[in-house]
Amino acid sequence: AQSVTQPDIHITVSEGASLELRCNYSYGATPYLFWYVQSPGQGLQLLLKYFSGDTLVQGIKGFEAEFKRSQSSFNLRKPSVHWSDAAEYFCAAARNTDKLIFGTGTRLQVFP
């Protein structure tokens, strides 16, 4: 069955520290991959997406993600976290852009 796994439910980092959020997928073929961010009580904002091509994808707000086929992973990174980055982060996958399957999310907490 198709699935997306985010192993870390909750991550806490200090402001200015680097960040990596993990995402693994299980699909028959390489899916489209996405990272979304959700602030409390809000909808989802797209950070970045991978369809094909360069495996290192740049997104908004200084985020990037790297697609690794051999590891079925699409981890999200940021070199220096800001307090405003505190939110819930969702990894998602789809065969096309229609039926998204979401991971369970990672809650990021940032300490000053």
Partner 1 sequence: GAVVSQHPSRVICKSGTSVKIECRSLDFQATTMFWYRQFPKQSLMLMATSNEGSKATYEQGVEKDKFLINHASLTLSTLTVTSAHPEDSSFYICSANLRGDGNQPQHFGDGTRLSIL
Residues that bind partner 1 (CB under 8 A): 32, 34, 36, 41-46, 49, 51, 90, 96-105
Give the span between the Cα atoms of 7 and 57, in whole angstroms: 21
CB-wise, 99 or 112, nearer to partner 1?
99
Q: Smallest distance, Å, CB 4 to partner 1?
A: 9
C-beta neighbour count of 79 within 10 angstroms: 11
Contact assessment for residue 108 and residue 87, using Cβ atoms and an 8 Å cutoff: yes
- Nearest Cα neighbor of 30 from 70, 77, 84, 80 is 70
CB-wise, 81 or 103, nearer to partner 1?
103
Q: Smallest distance, Å, CB 48 to partner 1?
A: 10
CB-wise, 36 or 67, nearer to partner 1?
36
